[in-house]
Amino acid sequence: MIKPDEALRIILEEVKIQPIKEVNLMDSLGYVLAEDVFSDINIPPFNNSAMDGFAVIASDTVGASNNFPCKLKVLGDLAAGNVSDIEIVSGSTLKIMTGAPVPQGADSVIKKEDTTLSGEEVSIYCEAKKGGNIRLAGEDIAEGERVFTISTPLRPQEIGLLASLGKSKVKIFKPPRVAILSTGDELVEIDKPLSPGKIRNSNTYSLTAQVILSGAKPIPLEIARDNMDSTRKLIQKGLEVSDILLTTGGVSMGDYDVVKDVLDDLDAELKFWKVAQKPGMPLAFWCFGEKIIFGLPGNPVSTMICFDEYVRPAISKMMGRKHIFRPEVDAVFEHDLKKKPGRTFFVRVKVRTENGKYYVSLTGPQGSGILKSMSLANGIAIIPAEKTLVKTGDEVNVHLIDLPEDH
């Protein structure tokens, strides 16, 4: 049995970054850039007005006030998307809209609210500042500038900026395909009636959701029964269609736990089996050529926590992300918790903030089959293996699943 940090180290050493794939810009959302991106234009491409108003020569407005307005002749108007060949000379101005190119001769823009237009003359009630209300060419991005580096996560704001650069296609690290195989004679599909001794197959659904949120592509398989033939057939199918295979159940010590036997027969290389943790002790990890296989425990909470602590970071690394772990905080524990030494505890907690500090409370009973306590949790508190007692008021390290509540 190995420690959690050793298990994670082994996994991440075996993980390879995915191949590069070119996709349409809108198909890149949520993925990670696999290239540096440089701009071949200035943004904005020309000096333009930041306001609706009047393009002026600042020196013409010296001394302008509410009592002594400056009066200028209006030579025309200019809307965004158009250009003007009118040159502004002393004593003249051009009505201009936001985003329109600043006309030749003008060095500032007076906003409309500080003016009164009467026929072909405008009264200006304040002094202009040279360069005021003008967005300069290249002010946002200069031609030749490196805008994004490799491994930049692509959020809506990056998508918008790439669009402004004219990037209709971008290169990303290809999201891994993740096959999901639940095992067990006791499982039935969720739309089937329950007969005595049967339970619904929730693991496939929680794992599919976790895979989607991680950015990878889930491939749910049918349920494997507790025999070699069914399990072998579906494991082979999963390995054919995926980069990562997740199995749930069948990796413990029971007479019907056959996942390990099948993978041994297939010559998969077992890297470890059993981790000194609770929940999720029977976690197993194999390599099969370029593919990786996680043997997750069958209990619903164990499955989800092992995914979050081990599979999710592996997927993030495969996708080229720089930050592959959940955000961590130190928080004040609001319970007493006793445990035996020797195993790291992953405890489901509710995280809240108060006066700038983090606090955590248990979400209920911590049994590995109690999925409700996982649903109520927005964090996982990490209780070290050597600890036997955490007292109320002690600080614990917490992996944040969601944002903490404010109080």
Question: Tokens 């333009």 identify what position?
Answer: 48
**Which amino acid, residue 118?**
S
**383: helix, coil or strand?**
strand
Main-chain dihedrals φ then ψ at residue 313, nearest 5 degrees:
-60, -35
Whether 223 maps to a domain, the answer reads yes
- The angle at the Cα of 44, spanning 40 to 46, to the nearest 5 degrees, equals 100
How far, in whole angstroms, is CA 143 from its chain's centroid? 29
338 and 361 inside one domain: yes
Give the model's pLDDT for residue 229: 94
Question: Tokens 């250009």 identify what position?
Answer: 83
Q: What is the DSSP string of 111-164?
A: EGGGEEEETTEEEE-SPPPTTTTEEPTTSSB-TT-EEE-TT-B--HHHHHHHHH
Q: How far from 123 is each of 69, 106, 110, 116, CA to CA, in Å?
A: 6, 17, 11, 5
128 and 245 inside one domain: no
200 and 304 inside one domain: yes
Q: Which DSSP letter does residue 342 get?
A: T
The CATH number that applies at residue 151 is: 3.90.105.10
Whether 30 maps to a domain, the answer reads yes
126 and 148 inside one domain: no
Whether 248 maps to a domain, the answer reads yes
Tell me the C-alpha distance between 117 and 29, whole Å.
47
Whether 71 maps to a domain, the answer reads yes
Give the model's pLDDT for residue 25: 98
Tell me the C-alpha distance between 163 and 385, whole Å.
50
The answer to whether the CB of 378 falls within 8 A of the CB of 403 is yes
Tell me the C-alpha distance between 256 and 238, whole Å.
20
Give residues with Cβ within 8 angstroms of 366, minimum separation 6: 279, 347, 348, 373
Q: What is the distance in angstroms between the CA of the first residue and the CA of the last residue of the chain?
A: 41
Give the model's pLDDT for residue 369: 81
The secondary structure element, H or E, covering residue 306 is helix 300-306
Whether 323 maps to a domain, the answer reads no
Give the model's pLDDT for residue 393: 96
Phi-psi region of 371 (alpha: psi -120 to 50; beta: other; left: phi over 0): alpha
Whether 160 maps to a domain, the answer reads yes
29 and 169 inside one domain: yes
List, for residues 148-196, the tens digit of each pLDDT value: 999 999 999 999 999 999 999 999 999 999 999 999 999 999 898 888 9
181 and 277 inside one domain: yes
Give the model's pLDDT for residue 318: 97
The answer to whether the CB of 283 falls within 8 A of the CB of 274 is yes
Structure tokens at 350: 């509710």
The CATH number that applies at residue 382 is: 2.40.340.10
Size of the chain in residues: 407
Whether 261 maps to a domain, the answer reads yes
* Beta pairing partners, 129: none
* Structural domain ending residue among the three candidates 264, 287, 318: 318
Give the model's pLDDT for residue 254: 62
| Residue numbers in the chain where pLDDT is lower than 50 | none
Question: What dihedral do alpha carbons 238, 243, 244, 245 form, nearest 10°?
Answer: 10
Cis peptide before 327 (omega within 30 of 0): no
Give the residue from 90, 100, 95 showing the smallest Cα distance to 75. Answer: 95
Main-chain dihedrals φ then ψ at residue 145, nearest 5 degrees:
-70, 140
Give the model's pLDDT for residue 86: 95
Q: Is the dihedral angle over the CA atoms 110, 114, 116, 122 positive or is it negative?
A: negative
195 and 211 inside one domain: yes
Q: Quick one: 101 exposed, middle or buried, by C-beta within 10 A (0-12, 13-18, 19+)?
A: buried
Tell me the C-alpha distance between 229 and 241, whole Å.
19
119 and 11 inside one domain: no
Q: What is the DSSP string of 38-96?
A: E-SS-BSSS-EESSSEEEE-GGGGTT--SSS-EEEEEEEEE-TT----PPP-TTEEEEE
Domain span at residue 82 reads: 48-135
156 and 242 inside one domain: no
Number of domains in the chain: 4
The CATH number that applies at residue 238 is: 3.40.980.10
186 and 282 inside one domain: yes
Whether 298 maps to a domain, the answer reads yes
Give the model's pLDDT for residue 226: 87
**402: helix, coil or strand?**
coil
93 and 109 inside one domain: yes
The CATH number that applies at residue 64 is: 2.170.190.11
288 and 390 inside one domain: no
